[in-house]
Amino acid sequence: MAKKSKAFSELLRLQKMSQGSQKLLKSFEKKLREKSLPFKEIVVSPSGEVKMSEVLEDFVEPYRESPETKESMRRLLTLGTIAWNLALSPESKRQGMIDRVFNKDLLNGDEKLKAEIQGLIEELIARKNRYFSENRRMIVDFELKELGNDYHISVASTLSPEFSESEFDFKVGDSVIVKQGVLDPDFGTDIGGWQGRIVTIERQSNLIGIVTIERHSNLIGIEWDSITLKNIPSSVIDQCEVENLDWTQMCLSSTDVELTQPRDTEEDVAAIIEQIESNIVGAI
């Protein structure tokens, strides 16, 4: 059995923090899932696939508490989901994603807690790679309900990938620019000229368990570069916060973008995101 970690207990403590900090934690959880999974459609019980609810439950089983509360189970499943999806992301991208958990306002500068939480995430990633390496499905979301003296878990996930990145027109890490006339899928505004890096690619026909879509294009997840992020109007960022949307990235069709040269580094992106998030916290 896995030793109960102080880091996990501290995660429960985070929910007692101010409303603004709780909002950041929930926003991060959603943001990380969306960054890993820029999908417009998902599946819950696809035929011919193992039940991901059972997989997720097996994945976190060694870390379950006794006695257990619904809240402690929900937090464990959330942490397990984050680690599972990180294990499926490129290793070079993981640390940047993990770093966003450790917002200095969220953890109050607690470096010891930061180290313990990171250690627990890395432990779960290692467990994923050791015991669940053949399962490449990503977890989009889960629902936890009490059922008598136990819990019922429902999991929404992607289907098993059938094609490698080499079979797509683009690859993860490519810098792209949005073509003129392309509209923001959420707000309907023109985003032509926005630039960023591809963080995920998915074949459209993989997304739906009942209906197969012809492969005319691919869905790509784009993380905006620092220059684009600086120029996003504060009113748009505020609206994203209100609607719980991720303003750092967007899912578009591969036909909406074209290759371009990078204008900055990933470190520049992380720095501007931290600056904008600090401004958001300060305004709360």
95 lies in the same domain as 213: no
Q: In this predicted structure, what is the pLDDT of residue 151?
A: 82
Q: In this predicted structure, what is the pLDDT of residue 31?
A: 47
Among 39-53, 121-135, 270-284, top mean pLDDT goes to 121-135
Contact 137, 162 (CB under 8 A): no
217 lies in the same domain as 257: yes
Q: Which of 7-11, 50-54, 215-219 has the lowest mean pLDDT?
A: 7-11
Q: Residue 96 — very low, low, confident or very high, per pLDDT cuts 50/70/90?
A: confident
Which 8-state DSSP code applies to residue 219? E
Q: Which of 47-51, 128-132, 171-175, 264-268 has the lowest mean pLDDT?
A: 47-51
Q: Is the pLDDT of residue 238 over 70?
A: yes
Q: Judge whether 14 lies within some domain.
A: yes
Structure tokens at 6: 């102080």
Q: In this predicted structure, what is the pLDDT of residue 51?
A: 84
Own/partner pairs, 4-11, CB within 8 angstroms, 24+ separation: 4/63, 4/65, 5/63, 5/116, 5/119, 5/120, 6/116, 7/113, 7/116, 7/117, 7/119, 7/120, 8/63, 8/75, 8/76, 8/79, 8/120, 10/113, 10/116, 10/117, 11/75, 11/79, 11/117
How far apart (Å, rounded) are the C-alpha atoms in residues 114 and 102?
6
239 lies in the same domain as 101: no
200 lies in the same domain as 132: no
What average pLDDT does this structure show over 70-93?
87
Q: Judge whether 246 lies within some domain.
A: yes
Task: Say which CATH number the domain at 245 has.
Answer: 2.30.30
Q: Residue 225 — very low, low, confident or very high, per pLDDT cuts 50/70/90?
A: very high
- The position carrying tokens 């209906």 is 211
How far apart (Å, rounded) are the C-alpha atoms in residues 9 and 36?
26
Q: Judge whether 10 lies within some domain.
A: yes
Which domain-ending residue is among 157, 178, 206?
157
Quote the pTM value. Answer: 0.47
What average pLDDT does this structure show over 47-60?
84
Q: Which of 34-43, 85-94, 270-279 has the lowest mean pLDDT?
A: 34-43
10 lies in the same domain as 147: yes
How far apart (Å, rounded) are the C-alpha atoms in residues 107 and 122?
18
Which domain-ending residue is among 95, 127, 157?
157
Closest CA to 222 of 184, 166, 189, 181: 184
The Cα-based distances of 133 to 14, 126, 156 in angstroms read 31, 10, 19
49 lies in the same domain as 147: yes
Domain hosting 277: range is 165-283
56 lies in the same domain as 145: yes
73 lies in the same domain as 209: no
- The position carrying tokens 């926005």 is 194
What average pLDDT does this structure show over 72-96?
86
Q: Is the pLDDT of residue 209 over 50?
A: no
Structure tokens at 188: 């309907």
Q: In this predicted structure, what is the pLDDT of residue 99?
A: 76
201 lies in the same domain as 226: yes
The Cα-based distances of 135 to 55, 88, 152, 156, 163 in angstroms read 9, 9, 22, 15, 14
What is the domain count for the chain?
Answer: 2
Structure tokens at 242: 């209100």
Contact 7, 82 (CB under 8 A): no
Please classify residue 279 by burial: count the beta carbons closer than 10 Å to its beta carbon, then call 0-12 exposed, 13-18 middle and 19+ buried. exposed
136-167, pLDDT tens digit by residue?
Answer: 888 888 888 887 777 888 888 877 664 334 44
181 lies in the same domain as 153: no
100 lies in the same domain as 172: no
Q: Strand, helix or coil at 30?
A: helix
Q: Work out the percent of the chain whose per-residue pLDDT is above 90.
A: 30
Q: Which of 45-49, 152-156, 161-165, 181-185 has the lowest mean pLDDT?
A: 161-165
Q: Judge whether 1 lies within some domain.
A: no
52 lies in the same domain as 151: yes
